[in-house]
Every structure is written in C-alpha cells, then in structure tokens.
Structure 1
Amino acid sequence: MKLLSVNVGRPMPNPWKRLAATGIDKLPVKGPVAVRAPGPKGTGAVGLAGDRVYDIKNHGGDDQAVYAYAREDLDRWERELERSFGNGSFGENLTTTGYDVNAALIGERWQVGADGPLLEVSCPRIPCATFAGWLDERGWIKRFTERALPGPYLRVVEPGELSEGDTVEVVHRPAHQVTVELSFRALTTEPDLLPRLLEADALPAEDLRQIRERLARTRR
C-alpha cells in the first residue's frame, strides 16, 4: 500500500447540520505531517496536525483519529457518477493505493514508513448529512450505503510523521474475519451480521455496547 496524498481540512460553513463549520473540505498537503492520538471524542481533535472536526458529538477522538479512502474506490465512483474526485474529496486524511482498505480487518495495524506512525483499523465510516451535502448527489447516503465501500477510520497506536508517497505495511492482522465492509453492512443494511461483530474487540467500546444492546432487544 502507498499514500498517494495526505489531506488536511480547511474550515467552511456547514449548512447541512446547522453547525458553525465543517472540516470535510480536505486538500493534499506537503509533508511531513505529524500524527498523534487526539484523546477522547468531544474536543474536535483528530490525528493529523492542522486538521480538526466541528461536529464534536459524532466525529473525532481516538477511534476516529484518521480516515483513509482508496484511490481505486474514488475512481469507481468517478465512473459511476461521471464526475471527477480529487484526492481528499470524500473527506479522507489518507488517499491510498494498492490495497483494498474495505477488506482490512478491524484491529489490523498499519505501519507507515520505517519510522512513521503505527495505525490501527477501528471502524467503518458511516455517512452523514454533511457528507451528503458536500457531495451534492441525490440520494447519496442510500447509494453510498448500498455500495458498502465506506473506508476505515484508524486509531493512532504510536505517533510519528507521514508524507505523500510513504509506503504502508500491514504488520498485524487479527484472527477473526470481521472486515471494514462486513462491519459496515452489519451496522447499516444487514443487522443479521451483528453477532459476528462481537468477535472484533478492537471496535470502539461505544459501538460494541450498542451492538450488545441491539442484540439483547432482538432476543427478548
């Protein structure tokens, strides 16, 4: 896997959620960019220096420190929607190539470069109103959900610096088979898959709590 670009957001008004701003407008920057664990959700902090989120209730924090999306999937959307998407267009921090990021396992670890950060796949991206408004595609949330190409959020296990062109090595894959795609489908369109997610203890603690509650309700 390789980083085609490292993307950092610039604040812009957010009429889609009635928030003061959004950081979804991410553009490639020249490195190196410092990456660190941002701490708990609620502060707006994320993993990349110079970036932040403004919907602090739903985004940011350690479990959503870095968001990755594959250039191959952006190209697929370009063909389907007949429009161009530059690196960063989906609000991703890392635009990758050479690896199916949706087949990555929850808890899988990525080493960026020889001395860069160590990242851990934590959960899939769930589309929201800001994403739909930003893309300005009719029925976008439904369409994005049906394709199940969400891209992963990652935690920062070890801090470091990364740059465009860095190689990424998968250095750990857990024993389960819970992929980013499978977890996304379980959380959205295929709740029958929810029991399988309990195998992936690297999912965010809040997600696991909600999954257990949903399963308990269905068993009553």
Structure 2
Amino acid sequence: MQIISTNIGKPTPINWNGQQTTTGIFKYPVNTSLLLEGESVAGDTISDRKVHGGIFKACYLFSADHYSYWKEKYPELDWNWGMFGENLTIEGLDESKIRIGNVYKIGNALVQVTQPREPCFKLGIRFETQEILKQFIDHGFPGTYVRVLEVGEVKTGDTLELVKESESTLTVQQFYTLLFSKTKDIDLLKLAVVNEALPASKRERLKRYL
C-alpha cells in the first residue's frame, strides 16, 4: 500500500436544511507532507468535532482503487484525489483484508486502524446528491480512519508497512457491514465488542444486540 496523494480541506460554507454551516470535506491534493497529530491532521479543517477528528478519527484513508467505480457513476463531477474527504489516498488499500487494530508504520508516523467511515450528508453535498449515501453504504468499501500512536509526517510515495497485525480477524469491511445490517452477525458482534481498537461508545452500543 502506498500514498499517492496527500489532501487538505479548507473551511467551505454550505447551506443545509436552511441553515448555514461549514464543511472540510472539500479536500484537494497538496504538494507537501502532512503532519499526523494525536486527534487530527495539522492544517486540515474539521468543522464538527462531534463526528470528525478525535483519537479514533485522527486521519482518514481511502483507496485509490475504488475511484474508477465512482467515476463511472458520476462522470459529470470534477474529479481529483480527496473527493471522498480523505486525507490520504492509498493505492492498494483493501478493506476486506485490513483488520481493525492493525498497526502500520507510514512515513515516520505510527498508526492503528480503528473504524470505517460512515457517510453523512456532507458527502452528499460534495457529490451534489444525497443518493450517494446509500450507494456508498451498499458498495461496501468505505475507507478507514486511523488512530495516531506516534505523531509524524507522511508524504506522497510513502508506503504502509505492517508493524503488528491485530489478533482479531475482524476486518474493516466486516465491521462496516455489521454496522448497517438489520440482522447482526453474532460472531462478528462478539469480535467487535472486545476489539479495543474500536471506540468504547461504539462497542457499548453493539452489546445490546448480543
């Protein structure tokens, strides 16, 4: 896996349900390295820290491999890396194989895979239609957030080197499916509620299904 683009967003004013707010989802490639800090990427915009940023959502990674699929669905859009609001566009990232809890060295930062991205209305604003939300969920390749274990800089061309594979077999894609499925897979639930790489609040909510 390799970084092919580093992306940063500036505060962008938007109107949603008659109210003015801002978003950082309009991210675009930059020619500089990014500093991954404890709860965010330095210089990036996080408009609503209730749902973005923080220890378990410090940096968002999305796979370059899925861009062709979405370009075919939305050929009229002005495409560039960062379209999904990701800080790092990664070639070779496969959510069906990456385990939640995996630890990677990237640049001189150390990160841990925490949770998939759950789409909100701001992705719909970027794509100019809220229909993207269901399509994004159904496609099943949401990218992943990471926790920053060691602050450091990353740049285009850096590779993700697996330092420690999670003892849990729960993958990012499996957990993503679990979140949105009406009928919860009990075996996956059992893996999720004890996986400490996931936020405690998420694990507590899932316990009610057991």
Q: Shared fold by TM > 0.5?
A: yes
Counterpart of 1:71? Answer: 64
SS at match of 2:138: helix
Counterpart of 2:8? Answer: 8
Root mean square deviation of aligned Cα: 1.8
Q: 2 CA distance for matches of 1:83 and 1:69? A: 21
Contact 2:101 2:168 in 1 (8 A): no
Q: How does 1:163-202 map to 2 (within 5 A)?
A: 163-193=155-185, 194-202=189-197
Residue 136 of structure 1 and its aligned partner are, at CA, apart by 1.6
Counterpart of 2:111? Answer: 119
Q: How many residues align?
A: 205
Which deviates more from structure 2 when the two are superposed, residues 99-108 or residues 48-57? 99-108
Residue 198 of structure 1 and its aligned partner are, at CA, apart by 2.1
Contact 1:31 1:162 in 2 (8 A): no
| Distance of aligned partners of 1:59 and 1:150 in 2 relative to their CA distance in 1, 3 Å threshold | same
Counterpart of 1:49? Answer: 42
Residue 75 of structure 1 and its aligned partner are, at CA, apart by 1.8
Identity fraction in percent: 32
Specify every segment of 5 or more residues in structure 2 that has no aligned partner in the other structure, as ranges.
none
Which deviates more from structure 2 when the two are superposed, residues 77-86 or residues 102-111? 77-86
Residue 102 of structure 1 and its aligned partner are, at CA, apart by 4.6
Q: 2 CA distance for matches of 1:120 and 1:83? A: 36
Specify every segment of 5 or more residues in structure 1 that has no aligned partner in the other structure, as ranges.
39-45
Which deviates more from structure 2 when the two are superposed, residues 134-143 or residues 124-133? 134-143
| Distance of aligned partners of 1:5 and 1:72 in 2 relative to their CA distance in 1, 3 Å threshold | same
Q: 1 CA distance for matches of 2:201 and 2:130? A: 31
| Distance of aligned partners of 1:170 and 1:19 in 2 relative to their CA distance in 1, 3 Å threshold | farther
Structure 1 residue 58 corresponds to structure 2 residue 51: yes
Residue 142 of structure 2, aligned match among 141, 150, 164: 150
Q: 2 CA distance for matches of 1:102 and 1:82? A: 26
Counterpart of 1:23? Answer: 24
Residue 199 of structure 1 and its aligned partner are, at CA, apart by 4.2
Contact 2:83 2:126 in 1 (8 A): no
| Distance of aligned partners of 1:86 and 1:97 in 2 relative to their CA distance in 1, 3 Å threshold | same
Contact 1:88 1:94 in 2 (8 A): yes
Which deviates more from structure 2 when the two are superposed, residues 83-92 or residues 4-13? 83-92
